[in-house]
C-alpha cells in the first residue's frame, strides 16, 4: 500500500525541505519505491536531489493540464521527483475551479500504485497548495526548529488540519513533531522538549524520539545535489534522520546492514 506523507509547517527555515529530501533518499536507500513531490514554488526539493529544475516540466505544468504526470516526473539517483517552479506561486489566484483542493489527489490516483511512499514538500504557508497536500496525504510530519520552538502558529496549523479532515480527508493524521537543529548541550533543551510535547498534544500527535542535531553538513549537502544522508552519512544529523526513516519505513523496509566503515570507523568522527 502506498503511504503519502506531507512535510509541513507554515514557518520557513525549519527544515521541511531538508526532512523531505532525507525521507526520499533514506527510503530509496532501503529499497522502497519513492516519489518526492515539490509543492513549494521555490523549487528546493528538486534542487536538493540534484535535479536541473530550470529545464524540467513541473507540477505547475501538470496542474495546468499542459503535461502528464508521467512526463513531468523525473528520475534521480535518489528516487523519482515531481519538481516545482516559481510559476506555482500564482496557484492561489490561478486555480479557482471547483474541487481545486483535490488537484493533487486526483492526479495521484494514476501513479500512486507504482510507489511505496510519496513524500510531499510544502511551501511556508497554509494555502491552496498546502491544502492539496493535506487532502492527498495519509499523514503529516511537522518539523520545528528547536531554538525558536513556540506554540505560536500551532493553532493555525491545527485549524487547517481540522478543516481538511472535516471537509475533504477524514483519515489525515499527524505522524509526529520533528525537532530540528537540536543542540543537546544547551540547558534550554529540557524546556524545548516540554514545549514540543505541548505542541504535539495540541495536534493529537507525538514528538519523534529522535531529534535532528544541528550540523554543517546538512546545509552544505543541497549544493552538492544530495541529502545529508549520502553527503555525510556518518554525521550526527544523518544518523538522526535515519532514525526518523526507521519510523516511517517500519518493518517493511528495514535499514540495510551497516558497512564495515559505518560500524567501526564512523565512531571516531562523532
Ligand X SMILES: Nc1ncnc2c1ncn2[C@@H]1O[C@H](COP(=O)(O)OP(=O)(O)O)[C@@H](O)[C@H]1O
Q: Which of 3, 6, 9, 17: binder of Mg ion (CB under 5 A)?
A: 17
Which residue stretch of 43-51, 100-108, 109-117, 256-264 sits at the interface with Mg ion (rule: CB under 5 A)? 43-51
How many residues interact with Mg ion (rule CB under 5 A)? Answer: 3
**Contact partner at residue 173 from Mg ion, ligand X, none, CB < 5 to 8 Å by partner kind:** none
Nearer to ligand X, 107 or 146 (CB): 146
Query: Segment contacting Mg ion (CB under 5 A): 37-45, 187-195, 226-234, 237-245?
Result: 37-45
Report the partner that residue 215 touches, choosing among ligand X, Mg ion, none (CB closer than 5 to 8 A by kind).
ligand X
User: Could you tell me the CA-to-CA distances from 57 to 36, 80, 230 in Å, in that order?
Assistant: 15, 13, 26
Packing angle of the helix pair 154-167, 128-136 (nearest 10 deg)? 60
CB 90, CB 123: distance < 8 Å? no
User: Where does this chain bind ligand X (CB under 6 A)?
Assistant: 12-18, 44, 124, 180-181, 212, 214-215, 218-219, 237
User: Which one, 68 or 160, has the nearer CB to ligand X?
Assistant: 160
Are residues 153 and 39 in contact, defined by beta-carbon separation less than 8 angstroms? no
**Of ligand X, Mg ion, none, which one does residue 14 interact with (CB within 5 to 8 Å by kind)?**
ligand X
Segment interacting with Mg ion (CB under 5 A) among 10-18, 22-30, 177-185, 225-233: 10-18
**Cβ atoms of 255 and 246 closer than 8 Å:** yes
Distance of CA 220 to the CA centre of its chain: 18
Residue placing its CB nearer to ligand X in the complex, 69 or 207: 207
Pick between residue 16 and residue 28 the one whose CB is nearest to ligand X.
16
CA dist., res. 174 & res. 145, Å (int): 17
- Which residue lies nearer to Mg ion by CB, 11 or 33? 11
What CA–CA distance (Å, rounded) separates 41 from 20?
15
Q: Which is nearer to Mg ion, 129 or 253 (CB)?
A: 129
Residue 46 CB, nearest approach to ligand X (Å)? 13
Residue 180 binds which of ligand X, Mg ion, none (CB < 5-8 A, kind-dependent): ligand X
Residues lying near Mg ion in the complex (CB under 5 A) are found at 16-17, 44
Amino acid at each position: 500500500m502506498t503511504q503519502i506523507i506531507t512535510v509541513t509547517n507554515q514557518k520557513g527555515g525549519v527544515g521541511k525541505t531538508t526532512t523531505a529530501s532525507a525521507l526520499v533518499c533514506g527510503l530509496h536507500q532501503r529499497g522502497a519505491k519513492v516519489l518526492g513531490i515539490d509543492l513549494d514554488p521555490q523549487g528546493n526539493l528538486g534542487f536538493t536531489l540534484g535535479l536541473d529544475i530550470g529545464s524540467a516540466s513541473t507540477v505547475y505544468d501538470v496542474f495546468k493540464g499542459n503535461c502528464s504526470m508521467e512526463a513531468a516526473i523525473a528520475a534521480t539517483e535518489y528516487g523519482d521527483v515531481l519538481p516545482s517552479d516559481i510559476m506555482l506561486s500564482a496557484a492561489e489566484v490561478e486555480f479557482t475551479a471547483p474541487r481545486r483542493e483535490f488537484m493533487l489527489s486526483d492526479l495521484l490516483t494514476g501513479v500512486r500504485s507504482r510507489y511505496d511512499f510519496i513524500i510531499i514538500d510544502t511551501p511556508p504557508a497554509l494555502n491552496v497548495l498546502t491544502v492539496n497536500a493535506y487532502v492527498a496525504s495519509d499523514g503529516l510530519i511537522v518539523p520545528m526548529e528547536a531554538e525558536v520552538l513556540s506554540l505560536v502558529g500551532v493553532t493555525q496549523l491545527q485549524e487547517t488540519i481540522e478543516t481538511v479532515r472535516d471537509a475533504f480527508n477524514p483519515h489525515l493524521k499527524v505522524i509526529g513533531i520533528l525537532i530540528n537543529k537540536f543542540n543537546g548541550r544547551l540547558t534550554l533543551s529540557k524546556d524545548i522538549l516540554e514545549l514540543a510535547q505541548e505542541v504535539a498534544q495540541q495536534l493529537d500527535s507525538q514528538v519523534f524520539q529522535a531529534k535532528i542535531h544541528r550540523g554543517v553538513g546538512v546545509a552544505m549537502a543541497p549544493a552538492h545535489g544530495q541529502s545529508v544522508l549520502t553527503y555525510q552519512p556518518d554525521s550526527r544529523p544523518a544518523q538522526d534522520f535515519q532514525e526518523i526513516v526507521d519510523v516511517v519505513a517500519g518493518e517493511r523496509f528495514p535499514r540495510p546492514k551497516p558497512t564495515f566503515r559505518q560500524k567501526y570507523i564512523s565512531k571516531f568522527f562523532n
